[in-house]
Homo-oligomer: A and B are copies of this chain.
């Protein structure tokens, strides 16, 4: 508990990125593979193998050779601390500096490594204790607690029900600009009219106004609740 108070200054920029990546890849539950990490960090499996050993020694991940890794409690705390910073900075950029939601992720990737607990807690207060970032992702509180909304991808949602957009993946600016164009935002109401079996594309009504066809890959990246 008190560990989260620290700034974790004994972790390098690179180590933090690995921990954060393992956290995100773990969200599906299973152990994370070397190649998955390499793909995500745009590096090579050989580099990942090296770093994994170091992180295991530092006790932030559990590692069994050839079996993949998962975060220890300590590792998860570090990951949540980085995620908290990332998302609060994204809110700041959108709410205060007039950034569009497709422009914040890259800068937040840098800002998330700035070490100052004090600054982040003050920033959170300054922003009015936001619960979600501009892409609908929940912001861990100062104790590292995070509250997930049970949502599913639009691609797996039922037909002919009123759905609400909870979050969208923030990594790809092109997707976000596309959503701007078609008028999908956090909180938008969607209703699936038809699922085209041939290519899994989806025809839907947006906010009771426009009818649109979106591809499977777009639908995979929009999380909704009904």
B-contacting residues of A (Cβ < 8 Å)? 93, 96-99, 103, 106-107, 110-111, 114-116, 118-119, 122-123, 126
Copies of the protein in its oligomer: 2
Identify which of B93, B106, B116 contacts A107 (C-beta below 8 A).
Answer: B116
Q: Mostly helix, strand, loop or mixed at chain A's interface?
A: helix
Q: How far is the CB of A166 from chain B (nearest CB, A)?
A: 27
Q: How far is the CA of A126 from the CA of B93 in the complex (A)?
A: 11
User: In the complex the two chains form, is A114's CB within 8 Å of B116's CB?
Assistant: no
Q: How far is the CB of A187 from chain B (nearest CB, A)?
A: 25
User: In the complex the two chains form, is B119's CB within 8 Å of A93's CB?
Assistant: yes
Q: How far is the CA of A96 from the CA of B106 in the complex (A)?
A: 23
- The chain B residue sitting closest to A122, CB to CB, is B97
Q: How far is the CA of A111 from the CA of B89 in the complex (A)?
A: 12
- The chain B residue sitting closest to A96, CB to CB, is B126
Q: How far is the CA of A123 from the CA of B118 in the complex (A)?
A: 20
